[in-house]
Amino acid sequence: MPVLRDFFIHLSENQLLNSAAQRYGLKLGAQSVVAGTNIPEVIESIKELNRHGISCTVDNLGEFVYEKSEATKAKNQILDVIEAIHEHGVDAHISVKPSQLGLDIDYDFCFDNLMEIVGKAHEYNMHVNLDQETLDRLQPTFDLMEKISETYDNVGTVIQAYFFNAKENIEKYKDYRLRIVKGAYKEPANVAYQDKNDIDLNFIELIEYHLLHGKFTSIATHDHNVINHVKQFVKENNIPNDKFEIQMLYGFRKEMQLELAKEGYNFCTYVPFGNDWYGYFMRRLAERPQNVKLVTKQVFTK
């Protein structure tokens, strides 16, 4: 349903709606996929997942950052999250969006912010993943990762399978811990596959490549066909469990998350929290329009 996908992606990019949503707290069903609005709430969610043998990667939600003061505020919040993870002794690491830390304002400023975050996480032996966003931020994010890794080894990023150059990038960055995803944004046909089958085929190829040749692999998907393929592939190629993990988003396919953890696979849930939930939530609706029922149910039951 590409029309619906485009509609939600378009909504996700609307700054006015984003600001309005922040004022009204978690609405429209967002609370089922966002683990609260503050640190105590997210720590409770992590503890609950940890109890089931699931580790977490925490995203302090934030988008549309065009002022340095907002990026500094986001950085300080992320530093607080790192402290809280350490203090509570929970099994979690950090995911950050470079745009939230000022990438669209000033590259060097963003680099400094990230260095503080990765440095603090390094003290606690905690990994930091730089989430990948839109095409214009793709290479700058790889560059940030490379530059940070001159000082710290606890940083990695994401490979988006819809990009034609994903294979080239995964080869170039194979020595990093990488999360591999299909890709969540709308990218033009001259740079990215548009057809689901093409994306799925490339996704599998990238996962296999990194499992065989790369550092640690995070396979981030809710697609059971891909997960079943991975299970078979690691068995046939004797790839040990400590070389990879499966990741899913908080609130999605909860039964399957528990099952995979129970089966003994390293499983990591991506746990977003905070007031800035709107863009994240709209992208989730774009990926899977069936989730619209989350919205309509909420509207009709309030």
- List residues with catalytic annotation: 131, 179
Nearer to ligand FAD, 31 or 68 (CB): 31
- Does 284 show up as a binding residue in the annotation? yes
Q: Can you tell me the distance from the alpha carbon of 28 to that of 38, in angstroms, rounded to the nearest whole number?
A: 18
Nearer to ligand FAD, 154 or 221 (CB): 221
- Considering only residues 32 to 91 of the shown chain, the ones binding ligand FAD according to CB under 6 A are none
Nearer to ligand FAD, 42 or 181 (CB): 181
| Residue carrying the six token digits 């709430």 | 41
250 is an interface residue for ligand FAD by CB under 6 A: no
Positive or negative CA dihedral for 48, 54, 56, 61? negative
Least CB distance from residue 148 to ligand FAD, whole Å? 17
- Does 160 show up as a binding residue in the annotation? yes
Q: Does an H or E element contain 244, and which? A: strand 244-249
Own/partner pairs for 226-231, CB < 8 Å, 24+ apart? 226/200, 227/256, 227/260, 229/204, 231/265
Contact code string over 115-134 relative to ligand FAD, x by CB under 6 A = ----------------xx--
Here the tokens at position 214 are 């790369």
Distances (CA, A) of 195 to 162, 192, 199: 9, 9, 6
- Does 97 show up as a binding residue in the annotation? yes
Contact code string over 179-218 relative to ligand FAD, x by CB under 6 A = --xxxxx---------------------------------
Nearer to ligand FAD, 68 or 223 (CB): 223
- Does 253 show up as a binding residue in the annotation? no
- Does 167 show up as a binding residue in the annotation? no
Please provide the distance, in angstroms rounded to a whole number, between the alpha carbons at the two ends of the chain: 28
Question: Using alpha carbons only, how large is the chain's radius of gyration in Å?
Answer: 18
Residue 164 corresponds to which amino acid? F
254 is an interface residue for ligand FAD by CB under 6 A: no
Closest to 146 (Cα-Cα) out of 157, 160, 134, 135: 157
Provide the binding-site residues for ligand FAD, judged by CB under 6 A.
131-132, 158, 160, 181-185, 220-224, 247-249, 252-253, 270, 287-288
Please give the annotated binding residues for substrate, written as ranges: 97, 283-284
